[in-house]
Structure 1
Amino acid sequence: MGSRGWASLLRGMLLLLAGGAFMAAWSAGMYASALVAVLAALWGLVTGIVEARRPQLAPVAAPLTASDPAHRERRLTALLDLSPAPIVTLDGEGRLYAINRPARRLFGAADLVVDPPPLLVEAIGDAAGRPATVAIGGRSYALTTSDFAHGGAQSRLAALIDIDAELKAAEAATLRDLVQVLSHEIVNALTPIASLSRTAADMLDDANPALPALRDAVGTVARRAAGLQRFGESYRAMARLPVPRLQPVPASELAADLARLFATRWPELPLQVDVHGVPFLRADPDQVSAALWALLQNAAEAVGNDAEGAVSLRIDVAEGQALFRVADNGRGIDAADREAIFRPFFTTKPEGTGVGLALARQIFLAHGGDLRLDGDGTGASFLGRIA
């Protein structure tokens, strides 16, 4: 193999390892490392293009010594053995070869892997340069491949990046964060319910309690407590948002419940509520209430203790669609954070969890709509839509 052939093989291995490193870094949440891997791959591609366009130099007249091919082979073997990732080749007849020390250790073979895992051979054959994941011996590997020709035969080079430890670490961290933020959100939801319950209890101490107000308070507590219970049970598995149970929901009643909870939680902060359009919307009332409550809570926290602070909730219901706008006159969202605010666990608050907006958007998406930051004026305005 000429110098260009060896260079092509080395560039192929660079792209292979860069692809595997990208998958491992991305799955573990190490986005900076993933970017470095992408840059390394781009460098390999650019140098390959430059090399391909460079004129081929005429061979020198002096013959190569017999030791030169062996020297190049030993150098390539040493480079391959330095790679921590097992590297294998699959030829056109489906034979798998271990070509570096980690691969020989993994498969217990000096060269030809006599009994290769069928799923691995299938994955390498089907990958065609695309990243994939395969399990070998109870561990997970990110698989990247690259095709090359040697001696007139076509083979496929594959690198196996062990991502089992990274996956388990990321899984444990995600589970820990999920438990923390869910418990925080449940406590936040229970706080106004508890406050409203105390208000109702105080009203019962009056000799002549205002029964309509008492009935409204108790009814709101009952509905929100039942909704929170159903919502929490659906998240017990901590796997995914439950499928919305669509039903007719009175828009005015939904707004009134949220207004009572808001007034109990932030009695000094005015909330303007407007409801327009047809009287009923079709949605999962518990999920939509949770999404709107998260938006209202963010708006109230954005206003803080500002004496002139205000929050608004507007609901527009039409046939087949409902729009929800929650706005405040706080300091607004920094331009650098506008693309990240819906990312799970992203927060700019010292005691924030970064789950409220992400969960609210998931709920709107599950209802066939979306949630977005609307406008760039004073304060923040979120527009949610369900279809």
Structure 2
Amino acid sequence: MRTFNQSKPILEDPWEYKNSSEVQGTIFIGQHGIYDTGGYVATLPSSKTAALALFSLLSRENWLDKYTIVVFVEFDLFIPDSNLFCSMVLAVESPKTGGAEGRLTQQVFKPLKMFHKTSLSDSYAVTLFICWVCICVFPISQIVSLVRRIRIQRRLFLKVAWNYFDVTLAATTLSSAVVMVVCEVVMTNDLGELRKGTRQNLQRTAALYDLLNHIISMLVFLSIIRFLKLLRFNQRMTLLSKTLKEAGKDIISWLFMASVIILGFSHAGYLFFHSSIESFKTMPDTLRLFFTTSIGKFPKETFLQLTSTFAQMLLLTYAVLNIVVTMNVFIAIINKAFGKADGERKSAQNHFDVLDYLSTRLKERVNNSGSK
């Protein structure tokens, strides 16, 4: 069941089912299920008096009954001063166990306006357009570099780990450029339809901008990791990479052991306390609680809210087992690998002189060009 806020009066029957294409919403992931965009729609008028009259009518006619699973209140906000849009969805779920649980989601986004007529007078749009051009040029140069590498290395290309990383970086960069253009086109179309009254919300645009933010976040993270490759000339960073490489197999085994412990305690906590303690009401919440405890962020507020002695003992037992056993095993693995990597570093030749590296690469380029 859905409700929408729109300036025009009610034109549709709230008791008539609307399919996904008519509602024009997006799939919502709640605490107790995944909900489709179809449902029964009651469009709220702009007048407060008319809206209260509509609520009274729906209440008298039992629009919400025992068969209602979830109710959505959806509306969009616009701030003219900063040119920001906000798509908000308030969901109230009715689980089979009874009661009601509310959840508010909001997505704030700003139009790119890269292809708008007035974009030349907007410094934000001009700066964004320049960055967009750089984003489009960067994957092209990456693809050219990858093609040259494939031609030179051939089968050896599949054996170098950094090549896979560069392919992922190029694909992420190209995806961000494509999604950015799609966001601009969809935003322009949705605003035009919203002014004409043929569209009821901006949820599709908000979902695309949220996807764009996630892709750009991944792109920034991968770019930072790629930049860290330059630190291979630093002895400490090289020692760190050798230590992790040496302890790779042992760390995988340790991760398996830690995962078994976290999943075991999480399942026990969820099965015993999901109906009585809020922190254990869903499996993701339980996993989040035990994971934050494992990294040293002990939830004091949650521990004080635990009225069950068994729940307190379960959380304390996990904390002690995680610190005394799991962390000590991890430290022992790192110490062993560090000692071996440090011994190899001391016996190896000095490969950390940047000037020697640059001069060697320059000589190789000159010799290759001379041979041609």
Same fold, TM exceeding 0.5?
no
Report the TM-score range of the alignment, normalised by the length of the smaller protein. under 0.3
TM-score between both structures, scaled by the size of structure 1: 0.20
Which structure is higher in RCO with an 8 Å CA cutoff and minimum separation 6?
Answer: 2
Higher Rg: 1
Q: TM-score, normalised by structure 2?
A: 0.21
Greater share of helix: 2
